[in-house]
Chains A and B, each alone.
Chain A
Amino acid sequence: MAQVTNELEQATDAIYGLIFGGQDDLDATIEGLPFSLGSAAVGDLPQLRATLRRQALNTGVSGGTALSTCYPNTLSALSQLTEATKDEIVGDFLASDHFAEATVHGLHGPGISIEEAFYEFARPLLVERDRWVLEHEFTSVLLKLLAANESPAFTVRRPAVRNNGQALVAVVGYPAEIATKLFPNSRTGRHYQMYAAVNGRYISGKVSESLASCVLSGKADNTAAKEVSQLRELGLVA
């Protein structure tokens, strides 16, 4: 029985590697398979992999958001830094342990979203400046996902996302030189950007430092009363 289970597990790993494998030596992968592969299939594999990469980039793979939609600037930065095409970057992501860890419907055990998996894949590859871009793109898509999924089947690993009792919120403080590039309304000084999922809606906007703490705690204080009442109207604080 254990032998059969092992054989099935091996076959599953082999198929997963065939489909989502990276830029490795395809001939060697095929050679090591625990089952035979039809001659047409051998010829079809590069195209099947290309279809998946295209899908991941343009429409979303396995129910995830299209990476070109949610990570446009991160992909450009990665492409510049690594001198790889976006297609190759996506291929490396699909072959990564980060992607393997992600879940869509939570039926194979808990896992993070494909979007968070991409964040974890990309972060170590980027330089400091581009990490802020990644931070913005990731926090934005994650809160959009949480707004659209009241009971998400995926877990959220990022500690910046908090349930403040009213809404799911995150606030990121960007250095001025980064913020001026990311947000048209940014001026001088540190820029606090709020991202929130509340009653099925995604809301994002600039907040002051004191409002940032209101948003994170979900409780209003006496400062900036007008802005606090706006936050209350949006359902972000009690």
Chain B
Amino acid sequence: MKPIARQLLNRPTLGLGVGFDLPWGREIGFEARPGGEEGISPRVEKFFERYGELFAYASFAFQPKDRSVLDAAAYWPAYDSLYHCIPPSATRVLHHTMLNVGALDNYEIEPIVEFTNALHERYNFAWIVEDLGIWSIRGKSLPYPLPPVLTEASKNRCIENAKAWSESLDAPVVVEFPGYSESLSLLMGDIDAVDFYTDVVEQADVNATLDVGHIIGWAWEANGGAGLYEAVDRLPLDRCVEIHLSGASIVKGRFRDLHHGVLMDLQLELLEVLLAKCPNLKGVTYEDPKPNATGMLSPTALKNFDPLVEMVASWHKSRTN
């Protein structure tokens, strides 16, 4: 394992984290303020006021603010305001959306490397994560990242891509199991997606994030739900540093990765299995909460959020004692 990947494994266990996708100009995201300044929206601010102390780390997904040439300094006022409302003790994680590890076409990585390293220098991310997916193709971004094409040539390219990012970025790069969602992603190629992912992570020598919903989505979309628990042992469990949970649902036998804040019982069941099987896990991220105007989660979301908090606290206690 690369020194930088090992360094991440040596970090102390964190516990529960929260992840937000923060687009510009939305209720949950960044907003323009009077006087031309940009800052985090009141909903996110109020969410952290209410629930902030529950989280040992906070992750946010990068969203371009405009169509200018990438310039990290242009993002500082907004990102500073975000970190102002998060407890200073919270570890920081960046969820990237431009690494495009699953892409098969060539694109210029240098501007993204420079941009990301400048962000890291200012905000000191513990790691940078991105799903193993095709986020854009021939320069056009997609509404939901496509899972990689499951062929040998594609796998070799994904390994090269992951290695290139790992060598170029100053923070450890963590590759996440790709998402499979009804009508938004396509199952392309014949290699088993779990084996494909494990090979990429191991051969690129990076750490792993396992998104519980993505694994369930793959089992449903590829096999109608069969083979879910059998697949767990084929995942790179010893390299897993982070687990993601975001709102999802199964409707008429099809999986929907909705990111609406409401977790399914099945997600908690799979989480319990993974907590016991990932020896180097650092944290469990509750992704994309949907707080209301006062920062509160809905009763529907709280139904499985409260058990999540308890489950992670109990795991964290067992790891730190």
Contact = CB atoms under 8 A, between A and B. Distances in A.
Given A8-B154, A11-B104, A40-B187, A104 B68 contact: no
Contacts of A37: 186-188
Nearest to A10: B104
A19 B137 contact: yes
A107 B139 CA distance: 7
Contacts, number: 137
B138 A12 contact: yes
Contact of B71 (A38, A48, A63, A151): A151
B153 A40 contact: no
A154 B187 contact: no
Contact of B143 (A18, A33, A55): A55
A18 B186 contact: yes
A232 to B, nearest CB: 22
B68 A153 contact: yes
B136 interface: yes
Interface residues of A, number: 49
A52 B139 CA distance: 15
Contacts of B140: 16, 20, 61-62, 99, 102, 104
A47 B183 CA distance: 6
Contacts of A44: 182-184, 186
A18 B103 CA distance: 15
A100 interface: yes
Nearest to B71: A151
Interface string A136-152: 00000000010011111
Contacts of A9: 104-105
Most A CB within 10 A of own CB, among B68, B134, B141: B68
Nearest to A20: B140
Interface stretch (B107-115, B267-275, B280-288, B310-318): B107-115
A227 interface: no
A16 B185 CA distance: 13
Contacts of B104: 8-9, 11-12, 15
A121 to B, nearest CB: 15
Interface string B86-110: 0000000000001000011101100
Interface of A: 4, 7-9, 11-12, 15-16, 18-20, 33, 35-38, 40-41, 44-45, 47-48, 51-52, 55, 61-63, 99-100, 102-109, 111, 113, 145, 148-154, 200
Interface of B: 36, 64, 66-71, 98, 103-105, 107-108, 111-112, 134, 136-143, 146, 149-151, 153-154, 156-157, 182-190, 221-222, 254
Given A8-B105, A149-B66, A153-B70, 5 more contacts: A8-B157, A16-B138, A41-B187, A44-B183, A108-B105
13 contacts: A8-B104, A11-B104, A11-B151, A12-B105, A15-B146, A40-B254, A48-B184, A62-B140, A62-B141, A62-B142, A104-B140, A107-B98, A113-B67
